[in-house]
Amino acid sequence: MPAQPISERYEIIGELGAGGMGAVQRGFDRVLDRPVAIKRIRPESLALAPAAADELAKRFRREARITARIQHPGVPQVYDAVLDAAHEQLYLVMELVDGTSLRKYLGTDQQLPITWAAAVGAQVSTVLSHAHVIPAVHRDLKPDNIIVARGGTVKVLDFGIAAILRTDVTKLTAVGSYMGSRPYMAPEQIQSGQITPQTDLYALGCILHELLSGQRPFNGPSDYEIMEMQVHAAPTPLRQLRADVPAALEDLVLQMLSKSAEQRPADTQEVYERLLPFLPEAGQDPAPEETGPAGAPDPTGVFRHPYAPRSRPTAPPPAPTPTLIDPQAQPVPVPEQLRVDIESAYAQADALMGEERFAQAAEVLGEVLAPAAQALGADNKKVLELRRKRSGMLILGGDYRAALPEFDALADAYARTSGPTSKAARLCRAQAAHARANLGQATVALRELHAVLELVRNVASDASEEAIELRRSIGSLLASQQRLREALEVLEPLLDDMHLVLGEDDEECLSLADDIARIRLALGYDDA
């Protein structure tokens, strides 16, 4: 998809989703070379009179600033607010959250564990407590605006969006329409009453009811009937729908769903405190009955292991069983459109690399990898070249954790297709070793670099460009581990070879000579 610049800085590269208040798109920040989420707010509705447009601009900036003030890990960080000169496009540029919408936890045959529902409610309460003190009321809290990130942290999206689009000023919706989602709207919202933090508590009560029972508190064939029920009907108590819901939890949800805002809990802090008894204890592993939807992030994890380090990266999948490559096999022809897409991706990645936007370059190459592998096969030469180029971008961008399993897999693939001593296989093994070194795995990295160097010595000179680079890496890594005498044993003979190949005045030789002098000084050697 062609890049679409916003404010000369942000490029839209794909759709993430859409809602009543606008589309969410995946973008890239050209300056900081990082992925972002870009919220485009109702562009089709912004044909306003000049006075209304000016008011919209003021409100947009004010609400964006308010949202940016909510300093809590449960609120995606706001990076930028963009309003074009014609007042025709509104954009919020935000942190891109990797996770699962709470909506996907609902509507399944499996009931959510009590601890999961309580954990979501407690985390949302915590987020709201930070917002309400500003004060900032969400106004449109619903499962679609809540994401459970991969580590289990609950993120609340779209703070300030409903306030930006309030109908009494911006007239962005038809006369008599409501801003919000009907199944989660408090009675005072429906009746155009005073919006307070208790309005958000009502919506959270609706969400808790749905998480625990699998049903919304009020359902009907039309929006009008749902709103009538919100204002006048009593919700079904949870224990009538699910017998294992604790009575105290049922009482809390019923109070949150009170028609009168004053009869709801005093604040989000009270909601959190009343949810505490239903949360797991720190250090407690989940019981078999507390397993939630398969593959879904566990929102109880932040309570079971508070402030835990991020999970260790999972090991890459085992390499396929080596197969013999038929030397007589004809190469798979590249479909014309795929060829064009690959060439375009290379050109775009090279341009991005020239601007040191390595993360985005890796993403661009990644977009054509899947169709290329599907069309040509995983071990196809062009596919392997694409993967190698992308992995190199990851290394240049400092993302060693992502690059390591890729270079390991590439080394295995080249060993299968070109032989274990092939240059491509050697270079990928060396890159994997460099990634390990940067991740603190120095012992393994040294072992792998030595192994690659032995392969190079079998097929080329010890003073070849590849061997020199490997020897320099080994010596530097030894020095960084304070194994200084071993480092000298590697680097001093290396300098002699480099003098013969490059000349004593070569910049690389002079740099290495300086390194050796510092090591000798640290060891107390007398060079006088």
**Domain containing residue 208: CATH number:** 1.10.510.10
**Domain range spanning residue 366?**
336-523
- For 99, the 3-state DSSP assignment is strand
- Which residues are CB-neighbours of 63 under 8 A, at least 6 positions away? 160, 161, 163, 164
Q: What is the pLDDT of residue 356?
A: 87
- Predicted TM-score (pTM) of the model is 0.71
Distance (Å, rounded) from C-alpha 429 to C-alpha 410? 8
Question: To which residue do tokens 């601009």 refer?
Answer: 57
Domain end position, chosen among 94, 116, 146 = 94
| Cis peptide bond prior to 135, omega within 30° of 0 | yes
Neighbours of 158 (CB within 10 A): 25
CATH of the domain at 494: 1.25.40.10
- Which of 140, 144, 200, 298 does the annotation list as catalytic? 140
Give the span between the Cα atoms of 392 and 412, in whole angstroms. Answer: 16
The pLDDT value given to residue 45: 47
| Neighbouring C-beta atoms of residue 263, cutoff 10 Å | 11
**Which of 94, 109, 129 is at the close of a domain?**
94
Same domain, yes or no, for 147 and 281? yes
Are β-strands 10-19 and 4-6 bridged in parallel, bridged antiparallel, or unpaired?
antiparallel
Which residues, 6+ apart, have CB-to-CB distance to 498 below 8 Å?
Answer: 463, 468, 506, 508, 509, 512
Q: Is 140 an annotated catalytic residue?
A: yes
Task: Single out the residue of 331, 350, 330, 426 nearest to residue 390, CA to CA.
Answer: 350
Clarify whether residues 126 and 248 are in a common domain. yes
Give the whole-angstrom CA distance, residue 284 versus residue 402: 31
Tell me, yes or no, whether 294 lies in a domain.
yes
Contact 25, 12 (CB under 8 A): yes
The reported pLDDT for the residue numbered 1 is 46
Q: What is the pLDDT of residue 328?
A: 44
Structure tokens belonging to residue 398? 């400092």
Please give the distance of CA 251 from its chain centroid, rounded to a whole number.
Answer: 37
pLDDT at 289: 80
| Number of C-beta neighbours around residue 134 at 10 A | 12
123 closest CA partner among 141, 135, 98, 136: 141
Same domain, 85 and 113: no
Same domain, 468 and 502: yes
Same domain, 216 and 273: yes
Of 65, 94, 123, the residue that ends a domain is: 94
Residues 22 and 113 both lie in one domain: no
Neighbouring residues of 213: CB distance < 8 A, sequence distance ≥ 6: 238, 241, 242, 245
Please answer whether residues 261 and 186 qualify as being in contact, where contact means their C-beta atoms are separated by less than 8 angstroms. Answer: yes
Structural domains of the chain, count: 3
Residue 528 belongs to a domain: no
Sign (positive or negative) of CA dihedral 499, 503, 505, 511: negative
Report helix, strand or coil for 13. Answer: strand
Residue type, 291: T
Residue 328 lies in a domain: no
Tokens representing 283?
A: 């250090």
Which pLDDT belongs to residue 44? 47
Q: How far apart are CA 289 and CA 291, in angstroms?
A: 6
Residues 468 and 495 in one domain: yes
Q: Are residues 104 and 78 in the same domain?
A: no
Q: DSSP 3-state assignment of 150?
A: coil
User: 10-residue block means of pLDDT along the chain (528 residues)?
Assistant: 71 71 80 89 55 68 76 87 70 88 84 95 96 86 92 87 47 42 89 88 97 93 90 95 96 97 95 96 86 87 87 53 43 79 91 88 90 89 93 90 93 93 94 91 93 92 91 93 92 93 92 92 79
Q: Are residues 271 and 409 in the same domain?
A: no
Looking at the fold, whether 191 and 44 belong to one and the same domain comes out as no
186, 294: one domain: yes
CA distances from 14 to 193, 393, 424 (A): 39, 21, 33
Give the three-state DSSP class for 101.
Answer: strand
Residues 296, 348 within the same domain: no
Residue with tokens 């064009």: 340
Q: Show the tokens assigned to 397.
A: 């961008």
Helix (H, G, I), strand (E, B) or coil at 198: helix
